[in-house]
Structure 1
């Protein structure tokens, strides 16, 4: 599984071989042996590298879960000499940075007082190759670069509006009714990830109130500016905002924890990443249950 994960993440035998300190030819034989043992093709080989088949993608998710479980087990039996310390900088889109990470990092800080945690909130993709952060939260899994990518959790979004707006304009009965509503959303040409282009999927082209910030959009919705797509985990912070058309529109997206491949052997960062991911999952579940 360790060899499979390296090839899947590096998308090449040479890249994975450098990480594992194995000859590419030897690694290729080991991968072929794994495919033969499982009786399934895991990779499509081409001049561009090794691309996962559908079966390979399914195995990747399970292998990553096994890897994470092993790291958590190691962290659980770590002795006093493994006490975490130092600075860890995390990049995140502003929705997660404002409404999810503060309480997650506060709890981790209490449990690990020698760690200095920094959150950098920016509405764009972080460049880990330039070491802008030690790790980053993303809303899609990057397909390029030497990166370690772990899916953290799914999260959910729904259309929402303030009670004042709905009292003044009425509650839409269908998606078609939204065309007569004032819509709050992203500035169209500043959407940095396709996964954030919610309104296009609903056939809504006009955005009456727009911002590149999730926090600003939420304030626009809460102040009666219109109807917007709101994260379920954000709703507990906006008690005057309520979900609408929940049967017609229910969106699901995912958070990914992204690290540079060179940090794979960094035990401190790997241990923190495991604790961080588990804390995010727990906090997401708590907040979404209150939505």
Structure 2
């Protein structure tokens, strides 16, 4: 059986994206070339590896068996490249980090910049999505989430707690009705998530304040923050985002606040890849410190 690593690499991309075009984009190959590589691999193993349907390319039973071996081969090749090519302990290669947009906008830019400066050979990509990142399909090498997964073969590490408060622009507060209790919020427009697009129960902030209706909504916390800065009303804001928004003020800070947590999620097989272990440790350490620094600045 003559199986080439390059064909296994293409096989993994098709399995993870479930399409020839998706694999082609990932590997910078045209879909026709991806298709020929898969035909060559299927000839080499003597069995069909994918079943094509309107939904895409799904692994057959034989394809699923090959997937386990291909992933182990990928880890071996990656580990060997790191061991041979590492320079002076620096991190190299490409790492993709998935994160919710609050973390991706207000925390990861400075963290990734520091990592890049310390490791010039490291290419860092931040995937900011309004949904949970799928590590099984290798959308990212690791993901930061706001809740720990309850199923699947994943490793979970709690990074840190963070805090949120009601907030509004000071100009809005000067011109609006006074706010002394949560009941007074009924006299103000509320800014928050689009209710039917809340993909994680931990993001359902407003329900904890007893608020059912959103006047201005978005699936992005960054858009919500800009709506609040434009004096559109009152919303719930991450404390670590407040230093980036001059003019914002906490509302009912003494009587209402929320605590949430960040978790680092990884594919269990990646624990054998030292480069990813070191990046994960650095990201967790830096994220913990950055949340503490920005929250202290917001409190001051």
**TM-score, normalization: structure 2?**
0.70
Shift of 1:170: 3.2
Q: Deviations over 1:154-185 (max 9, x none)?
A: 00000000011111113310011111211000
Rg larger in structure: 2
Q: 1:181 aligns with which of 171, 188, 203?
A: 188
Q: 1:229 aligns with which of 217, 221, 236?
A: 236
Q: 2:141 aligns with which of 131, 134, 141?
A: 134
Q: Secondary structure at the match of 2:252?
A: coil
Find the counterpart in structure 1 of residue 95 from structure 2.
88
Q: Distance between the aligned counterparts of 1:142 and 1:107, measured in 2?
A: 29
Q: For the aligned residues, what is the CA RMSD?
A: 1.1
Q: Distance between the aligned counterparts of 2:245 and 2:232, measured in 1?
A: 14
Find the counterpart in structure 2 of residue 256 from structure 1.
263
Find the counterpart in structure 2 of residue 101 from structure 1.
108
Q: Secondary structure at the match of 1:129?
A: coil
Q: Does the 8 Å contact 2:142/2:264 carry over to 1?
A: yes
| 1:83-232 equivalent positions in 2, closer than 5 A | 83-232=90-239
Q: Secondary structure at the match of 2:242?
A: helix
Q: Distance between the aligned counterparts of 1:274 and 1:244, measured in 2?
A: 35
- 1:280 and 2:287 correspond: yes
Q: Secondary structure at the match of 2:116?
A: helix
Q: Distance between the aligned counterparts of 1:158 and 1:84, measured in 2?
A: 37
Structure 1: give runs of 5+ residues left out of the alignment: 1-78
Find the counterpart in structure 2 of residue 44 from structure 1.
none
Shift of 1:80: 4.8
| Alignment size in residue pairs | 213
Find the counterpart in structure 2 of residue 36 from structure 1.
none
**TM-score, normalization: structure 1?**
0.72
Structure 2: give runs of 5+ residues left out of the alignment: 1-85
